[in-house]
Amino acid sequence: MKNKLLYLATIALTFISCEQKATFPTVVTGDAIVYATAKTVQLNGYVESDGGDVVTERGICYVTSSSGVVPTISNNVVSAGSGKGSFSAILERVEPGTYTYRAYATNDIGTSYGDIKYFKMTTTGKPNDDPDDGGKKYTINDFLGTYSLKAYNWDAATYETWSGVKIKTYNTDYWSNAVYVEGILLGEGYTFFTALGQFDAEKQCIRLFSGWQFTNRTFTFTGEDISYIARFYPVYANKNEDTFTYLYSGNGYEGCAEAWLTFNSNGKLCLGASDTPDPETGKYANGMVFRYSEAENPTNYNRFEVFIEVEMTKTSNTTSMPEKAPYKINHADIINTNIEGILHKSLIMKSLKATKCAN
C-alpha cells in the first residue's frame, strides 16, 4: 500500500513539475493617429501573448517627452480592456507638445511593456501648418486626385484596403469650395458611396458633412424597381467596444455632423475629428459609416459596415477616369426579400431610424 501511495505521489509531483509556469504577457506598441484639429489622439497596441495567464488589464501609458520619464502605469494611463488582441486608447483635449508612450499589459505575474514611441500635437491645431516644423499651407488642389485607402473594419475586426477613391470638385449653391469623395467605401466603381463637403483653407482640411448624397448616386437591386440612396455619416468607434456612436449634429452645413480629412506628417489623408465634439454625445469622429434607404421610403434606414483608422494615399493627381454606372447588386446577394440587409463583402446591416440631417 505504501509503495502504491509513493508511486502516485511521484506521478503527481512529476505532473506538477511539468506544468507550464505563467510568465509576463507580451505586448506591442502600435502607431499613433493624431487628429490635430480636434486635439485628439488614437494610440494603438496589441497583446501577442497572455503569458499563460489571463490579461486583466491592458492599455497605454504616456508622459510628456520633456519630463525625461519612461512611461509606466504609475504615470498617465488610458485603460483599454483586457485579454489578447488589438486595442486602442483615445486621448482627448491633448495640449500641444511631444509625448512619449508605450503599451502595457498586466496579468497575475505582473506588468510588461511594449517599445517606446512618440507623437506630437502641433501648436496651431493644424497637422501640417506648424511653424516649428516649417509646415506646408495646403490648397484645394493638394487634396484633389485618386487615392488608395486602408481602414479598419470595426464589424469584421480586420483591416481592408481598396483603390480608386477620387476627390473631385463640383458646383453647388450650398457652399463654396465644394468637393466630393467618390468610392470612399470599396473604391472605384462604387459611385453611390460618395461623401460631400467643402475644402476649408483656414482649417486645412476637407470637411465632410453627414446625410448628403448626389441624387444620381443611387444603386438598385437586379430585378427590382426600387432605388436606394447611400449617405455618409461620421461615427465614434473603439476596437474594444461592442457598440459605436453615430454623430448627428455639429458645426457642419445646417448643423449636421462632420468628419475632416487632414494630411498627417507622412503626407497621407486621415479621416477623423473636427475641432468640436458632437454636442449631444461629446464624442469626436474617428470613423465613418454609410447608411442606405429606399429612395421612396427615406425614413427606413439600414447600414453598411463601420470603418475607423481611415488612411488615404494619393496614387494620382488626376481623376479623369470615365465615370461608371451605378453599381448593381445581384439578387443572390440579398439576405431576404424584405431588404433587411445585403451580404456583400460581409457587409452588416441593421435597421435604423432616420436622422434630422438626412437631406
* Annotated domain spans of the chain: 26-121, 140-352
Return all residues near 208 (Cβ < 8 A) that are at least 6 apart.
181, 195, 196, 197, 232, 234, 258, 259, 260, 261, 271
| 8 Å CB contact between 45 and 29 | yes
C-alpha cell recorded at residue 84: 489578447
Indicate whether this model's pTM tops 0.75. no
Closest by CA to 313, choosing from 183, 146, 199, 194, is 146
- Bridge partner residues of 162 (DSSP): 149
| Alpha carbons 147 and 164: distance in angstroms, whole number | 6
| Alpha carbons 225 and 230: distance in angstroms, whole number | 17
| Alpha carbons 196 and 145: distance in angstroms, whole number | 15
Amino acid code (one letter) for 180: Y
Q: How many CB atoms lie within 10 A of CB 22?
A: 14
| Alpha carbons 210 and 235: distance in angstroms, whole number | 10
Return all residues near 203 (Cβ < 8 A) that are at least 6 apart.
37, 126, 260, 275
* pLDDT tens per residue across all 359 residues of the chain: 555 555 555 555 554 444 568 899 999 998 888 876 667 788 989 999 999 999 999 999 999 999 999 999 999 999 988 999 888 888 888 888 899 999 999 999 999 999 999 998 875 444 444 444 445 688 999 999 999 999 999 998 899 999 999 999 988 777 789 899 988 988 887 777 889 889 999 888 999 998 876 654 445 444 444 567 788 999 988 887 788 988 877 777 777 888 999 887 678 898 987 777 778 877 788 899 988 776 666 666 788 899 998 999 999 997 654 343 333 333 233 222 222 333 232 233 322 222 223 33
Residue 293: left (phi > 0), alpha (psi -120 to 50), or beta? beta
Q: Are strands 158-169 and 145-153 parallel, antiparallel or unpaired?
A: antiparallel
CATH number of 26-121: 2.60.40.10
Return all residues near 356 (Cβ < 8 A) that are at least 6 apart.
248, 249
| Alpha carbons 122 and 69: distance in angstroms, whole number | 21
| Alpha carbons 42 and 156: distance in angstroms, whole number | 20
C-alpha cell recorded at residue 248: 448627428
- Bridge partner residues of 259 (DSSP): 208
Q: How many CB atoms lie within 10 A of CB 352?
A: 16
Q: How many CB atoms lie within 10 A of CB 299?
A: 11
Q: How many CB atoms lie within 10 A of CB 94?
A: 17
